[in-house]
Structure 1
Amino acid sequence: MAKKTNKNPNEMSFLDHLEELRWHLIRSTFAIVLIGCVAFLMKDFIFDTIIFGPKKMNFPTYRLFCKAATFIGLESDFCADSLPFTIQNRTMAGQFSAHIWTSIWAGFIVGFPYVLYEMWKFISPGLHPNERKHSKGFIFTASFLFFLGVLFGYYVVAPLSINFLGTYQVSKEVSNEIDISSFIANVRASVIACGILFELPIIIYFLTKVGLVTPEIMKKYRKIALVIVLILSAVITPPDVTSQIIVAVPVLILYQVSIYISKVVLKREAKREAKQKASPTGLKKT
């Protein structure tokens, strides 16, 4: 068996790059499936504790909102003993299918840092050494923001959605009997959407590096960004103003942070170009 050698990225053909990408994707998929298998074996913890946690009124978010309402002397649905809906399965393979797909999504969430690592290994050889130097903390920062978004989605967005939609009735003649796939989809969408939204500073960083975004552009379209954020908040939260504001505020903070990051990136680029021009050998570099 021939020994595999690392090729120079500048000497690799398009097919070589595709082959390299294929192996990174295979390793990422294998990691997700492996973690998913572990999650599959932890059925009771994954479903009873995590997935169905926001259905129980002793969930930390409900207790916090109940204490806040009690403190200011208001009655609140968050202080109820239980949520007035049941979760049921309507198809033969519904529960098994939910178990499989929930395990896979758990594998993706937990394995996200490794997936980033594999993607970074594919991209980094094509970067300038100086760019790799300034991007050392990419995996840690991106993973931290993703997990922060996941926690925000799980402890804020998901329980607010479940509490509102699970208790909403058009008539007392209609009871809420929610299918398991619908309930899990609600929790999953809240968690994954917030995890991706919290990657905004990383996305802006790379868009600034390639010259597609500048702080001036972001400031100019700040009002449009505000509208987009409110629309996204309306999509992933129940249709009430309070929930939308709770989701919109951290995203708008991230937008402001992204403007600052864009400024820092441009300043570093300007300094690097100034050093190259000042260097006697700067013009000879290719």
Structure 2
Amino acid sequence: MATNVKRKKKAEVMSDDGSMTLTGHLKELRNRLIICAAVFVVGVIGFLAISDKLIDLLTAMAMNANYTFVFLAPQEKLMQYFRVSLIAAVIVTIPVALYQVYAFAKPGLKRSERFFFRLVLLFGLALFCVGVLFAYKVTLPFMLNFLVTLEGTDYITASISIESYINLCLTMFIIFGCVFEMPLVTIILAKMGIANPEIMKKGRGVAIVLIFLVAAIITPPDIVSQCFVAVPMCLLYFISIFLSGIFYKPKTDDDDEDEDDEEESSDEE
């Protein structure tokens, strides 16, 4: 009886030709989603236990600038502890989720595609971490010192809402993490034959103007924040031009013919 049940379950997952059935794919997807959800829940609980240390880590940048933090609503301080814990749990869950996506798609990928997929995942995570670290170590400390030392009336002191400060930190972390992904996006587009290095060189003047425009939109309304986002973006753009020259793969007529042959063979089948 038990053997029959096992065979029935195996038949639901695997078809006669050895490939996985739709039910099997859905079960695998469910299991991987459960793993991601479990990691997130455990992360939230774990980071709640050390949420005060996370807040100390974020506010340490502003202590040298003599900031005084306050909370303006009774629940504001408590909500920031929950908020930081949730975001930290999401950060921990993202690599696990990306790995689960890779593991789910791995059987259908070629060896070269699997290598490129792993390279993109590792390179992307590394660049995002470098962007966040750059914001934490360089951009935010300088920005906070600059803003607090602006000349003005002496009786105006800096008593910053902890909610607004956390908002600023998280916004800058996300911005710099995404901005530092530019070389990776360029490599992917170059491999697809989209990011042409010659076109990127000719359009660098327009690109710089657009970069400063985007920096003005996504940053707080001051010129220092804009420059601190725009200047690294310009440097990354020039690095992207160099990388596109290495990885650029123009699409040839042979590639189009191969795609047409594949479509014709699939239609015949």
**Alignment partner for residue 139 of structure 1, among 96, 107, 121?**
121
Q: Please state whether the residue corresponding to 1:92 is helix, strand or coil.
A: coil
2:39 corresponds to 1:56: no
Give the partner amino acid of 2:43: I
1:164 matched to 2:146: yes
Q: Which residue of 2 aligns with 1:63?
A: none
Please tell me the root mean square deviation across aligned C-alpha atoms, in Å.
4.0
Aligned residue pairs total 252
Contact 1:33/1:104 (8 A) holds in 2 = no
Secondary structure of the 1:136 match is helix
**Bigger radius of gyration among the two:** 2
SS for the counterpart of 2:68 is strand
Unaligned runs of 5+ in 2: none
Q: Hey, what's the Cα distance between the residues in 1 that align with 2:14 and 2:53?
A: 42
Tell me by how many angstroms 1:128 deviates.
Answer: 4.5
Change (3 A) 1:245 1:265: same
Structure 1 residue 108 displacement after superposition:
2.5
Query: Cα gap change, 1:162/1:112 in structure 2, threshold over 3 Å: closer, same or farther?
Result: farther
Secondary structure of the corresponding residue to residue 222 of structure 2? coil
Name the TM-score, length of structure 2 as normaliser: 0.73
Note the residue ranges of structure 1 that are not aligned, 5 or more in a row: 58-81, 277-281
Alignment TM-score, normalising by the size of structure 1: 0.70
The aligned residue for residue 49 of structure 2 is 41
**1:1-286 residue pairs with structure 2 within 5 A?**
2=9, 5=13, 24-48=32-56, 50-57=57-64, 82-83=65-66, 85-125=67-107, 127-168=109-150, 171-234=153-216, 235-236=218-219, 239-241=222-224, 244-267=226-249
Q: Rate the CA distance shift 1:20–1:185 in 2: closer, same or farther, 3 A.
A: farther
**Residue by residue, what CA displacement relative to the aligned partner does 1:156-199 show, whole Å, maximum 9, x if unpaired?**
22223322334457644543322111010111111121111111
Q: What is the distance in 1 between the residues matched to 2:33 and 2:181? A: 21
Cα distance, 1:217 vs. partner? Answer: 3.3
Report the Cα offset of residue 148 of structure 1: 0.4
Contact 2:191 2:249 in 1 (8 A): no
SS in 1 for 2:160: strand
- Between the aligned residues of both structures, percent identity stands at 30
SS in 2 for 1:103: helix
